[in-house]
Every structure is written in C-alpha cells, then in structure tokens.
Structure 1
Amino acid sequence: MSETESAEAFLSQLINQSGKMRMLSHRTVMLLLLCRLDAGENSEPRRQLGSAIEEFEEIAARLLPEQRKQRLPEACDAALSEVRAVTPDQEALLSRFLTEAKQLEQSVQPGQIFDDARVKGFSSFVANDLLAGLNSIVAGVGRALEFTMQEERQEVARNAEVVADTMDRIEKISQTVFMIALNASLEAARAGDAGRSFSTIATEIRELSKSAKETVQDLRNQISV
C-alpha cells in the first residue's frame, strides 16, 4: 500500500470515528442522567460513562493538531492542516466537552450531590454547540480526504506526463537510429563484399529500432485504454 493509499485509509476511518464522537457525546449525557438513578458503589452507568469519555478523548486526540502528529501518518496530518479540518474554535469545543465531562464524572461518584443544573447546561451544550462543531469536523476530515485523493490524481497525471515524455524521446531516438542504420546499409552496399558484415549489423540495428518504436506504440495504446 502506497503512502497516499495509507493516508486515504486513515482519513476514511477518521471520518467514521469523528462521526462516532456525536454518538459518544449524547451517550455521555444519557449516562450522567442514569448515574443519578443508580448511585451505588458498583454503578454500571458510571462505569460506562468513564468508557464513553475515554473513547471520545482517544478519537479527539487524533484530531487535535498538537497531538495528532504522533498518532497519524505524516500525509494525513498534512492534509488535515492544509484544509484546516479542525479550527481553533472546534478544538476549544472538544476540550470543553472533555473538561466538563470529566468534572461531571467526578460529581456523580458515591457521596457526591448530583448537580441537576450543571448536567442540564452540559446537555444543552452537547446538543447545540458541540453537535454543530462535530458536524463541521466530520466535513473537514472529508475535505482532507478529498484533498489527498486530488493530490494522488495530480501525481498520477504528473507521472503520466513523464512517461509520455520518455516515450517521445525513445521514439525519436529509435527514428534517428533507424535512419543511421539505413544509411549504414546503403554505404555497406556500395562497399560490396567488404561491407557485407557491416550491412548485417546495420540491418539488425534497424530491426531493433523498429522493435523499439513498436514497443512505444504498444505502451501508448495500453495507456490510452
């Protein structure tokens, strides 16, 4: 798998993961509310809450510029930066979610007083500001993927131009060699028996030139298919 193909695969996966953060954010709110109903020592909602926040944080780390350099291929990081997939405002939303979610997770530990107003405010933030930000991030990662694919197409086009230029030069060289060999054959014919062996070599060179020209034409036909 080429570096570009690897980057495309990572970015495609990251689009899905970015979308998953929307589900995780709403799940976090739901679990906070369930923790109010199940405040026991071995609360299952509290355990799931910690897992949801941890998974959200893991995905966010792949998107935050200061962290993703260590987590994504260089080509992915470059593409995300090029299209500004995650803006500073969106970074702030991710950071705010994680900060408040972790604080609320601590507030629902046994013996703590459940803060209805704070959870309600957090829920409103998730449903409005964060959701809009996450939608923009998904779109931004999509732009990064499109940018990477466009870069690949341009690279293919550049390579095709190089191949075409090389074939043109080979064809010109083969034509020149053909003419030289033809002239050599004529000179050998004038020389009679003394030029017979040279005539044979000139003929072989001429055939090689024709073969090279045919090979170039075959390549052109294959590329145009």
Structure 2
Amino acid sequence: MTTKDKNTLDDELSRLINLSGKMRMLSHRAVMSAQQSVLDPSSHNRAISVFNNSLDEFKLIKTALEKGEASLGISAQAAQTVNGHTDIANATPTLERFIFLADRLSADLQDDDVAASQLSGLADFVSHELLTALNAVTASVSQCLHNLLDDRRAVEKNVRNAMFEAVQSISDVSRKVKLISLNATVEAARAGEHGRGFAVIAQEIRILSENAAVSSKQIAGQLSKLN
C-alpha cells in the first residue's frame, strides 16, 4: 500500500465516522418531519419530502458502511476495514429494523390515523435502540481508525529501528575498513618503491571509508528526527 493509499484510507475512515454520526441526525429528522406531516396538514407535502430524503440518505450511508459508496467518497476497501468489527455487525439488524419501520410509515403517511399510531413506536425506537446502535457504530469506526494508525506507527517504528541497525553496521564496517587502509598504508611505506601503487589504493579506500562514515552519520541524524 502506497503512502497515498494509506492517506486515502485514513480520510475515508474519518469520513465514515462523520457519516455514521450523521445517521443519528437523519433518523431524528425523519421522525420530526413525520410528526410535522401528521400535526400540520399545511406542511404535509414538504414534511413528507424531508422524511423521504432523510430516509434515502440514511440508506445510502448504510450502504457505504457495508460495501462502500462512490458518491460519498467511501471505497470498498474502507468498508471492508470496518465490516469485520463485531459491534458494527451487531448493530446492522437495528439499522435494518429502522429502515423497515420508516419505509412502512412512509407508505402510510397519507393516512393520519395510521401514521400517528406508527409514529409513536418509531420515535421510541429511534431514541433508544437505534441511538444505541448508531453510537456503537461510530465508536467502532473510530476504533478501526485508531487501530490502523497504531499498527502503522508500529510498522514505521520497526522500519526505523531496522534502518538504524543497518546504518550502524555501515558505520562499523567503515571504521574497520579505515583501520585496514591505515595498516595497508604502513605496509606500503615499508615496501618502499614497490609499495607506492598499493599506497594509492589504500588512500582511496580510506577516503571511501570516511565518506561512508559521514553519510551514515547524516542518515542516522535524519532518522532521529522521525522519532
């Protein structure tokens, strides 16, 4: 997974947190608009429109949670990330129950007597069972995001530690190579004229080892800033 993919998934889970919270508002708006349609005949049609729009958006967000929804910016991958959470699975029947009750009420809103009798049960369901389920969904999606970030930080820490070890190994090798080059220089000097070519090579090796030591120190410094 690339950095871009990781950031996108983070954003989508954050969006799902907000959307699951919005489901609470939509369910309450549906109940209030249904009440208005029953109590205020002059605003009946507008109230029904608000009710249906709220219900449709609630269903769309539920789809986003279950399998993703492009129109809401939620991919299938983000949905899969949260689908395995037990609390979300346990909440699903409650969300489906709300949709069933709301759909049934929508069909009966033209009959005030029938709607009034159903409305009381829906309002009670929304304020208790549904609210509890939606709170659990929001908390679960938040936990999924926190777990994802914690896992990523742990992986990044392991990678940094491995890089530190690699840099340390390079530094150790550099020191040893430098000692070898110094010894080679001494031996080349002892060899006199015959050791001049070898002395040049030893000098180049020493320079390379010093450059490697400087580079490893710089890399270690940059890694330290990431902690």
Partners of 2:219 and 2:199 lie apart in 1 by 30
SS in structure 2 of the partner of residue 145 of structure 1: helix
Q: CA deviation at 1:184?
A: 2.1
SS in structure 2 of the partner of residue 43 of structure 1: helix
SS in structure 1 of the partner of residue 148 of structure 2: helix
Partner of 1:176: 176
Partners of 2:84 and 2:192 lie apart in 1 by 71
Partner of 2:75: 72
Partner of 1:127: 127
Q: CA deviation at 1:167?
A: 0.7
Contact 2:10 2:145 in 1 (8 A): yes
Contact 1:181 1:203 in 2 (8 A): yes
Alignment CA distance shift 1:81-1:41 (3 Å)? closer
Partner of 1:91: 92
Partners of 1:182 and 1:69 lie apart in 2 by 67
Gaps of 5+ in 2: none
2:64 aligns with one of 38, 62, 65: 62
SS in structure 2 of the partner of residue 204 of structure 1: helix
1:23 aligns with one of 5, 18, 25: 25
Contact 2:34 2:47 in 1 (8 A): yes
Partners of 1:78 and 1:188 lie apart in 2 by 67
TM-score for both structures, normalised by structure 2: 0.86
Partner of 1:139: 139
Q: CA deviation at 1:151?
A: 1.1
Partners of 1:98 and 1:69 lie apart in 2 by 18
Alignment CA distance shift 1:163-1:78 (3 Å)? farther
1:207 aligns with 2:210: no
Q: CA deviation at 1:73?
A: 5.0
Partners of 1:186 and 1:144 lie apart in 2 by 63
Partners of 1:32 and 1:42 lie apart in 2 by 9
Larger deviation, residues 148-157 vs 2-11: 2-11
Partners of 1:145 and 1:84 lie apart in 2 by 15
Gaps of 5+ in 1: none
Partners of 2:154 and 2:95 lie apart in 1 by 34
Contact 1:83 1:143 in 2 (8 A): no
SS in structure 2 of the partner of residue 148 of structure 1: helix
Q: CA deviation at 1:193?
A: 1.9
Partners of 1:83 and 1:163 lie apart in 2 by 34
Cα deviation digits, residues 11-70 of structure 1 (max 9, x gap): 111111111111100000011112224668981111221111111111111223xx3499
RMSD (Å) for aligned C-alpha atoms: 2.4
Partner of 2:45: 43
Partner of 1:165: 165
Partners of 1:78 and 1:33 lie apart in 2 by 37
Partners of 1:172 and 1:183 lie apart in 2 by 17
* Bigger helix share: 2
What is the identity, as a one-letter code, of the residue corresponding to 1:97? Answer: F
Larger deviation, residues 141-150 vs 208-217: 208-217
How many residues are aligned here?
A: 220
Structure scoring higher RCO (CA < 8 A, sep ≥ 6) equals 1
Partner of 1:105: 106
Alignment CA distance shift 1:185-1:78 (3 Å)? farther
Contact 2:38 2:44 in 1 (8 A): no
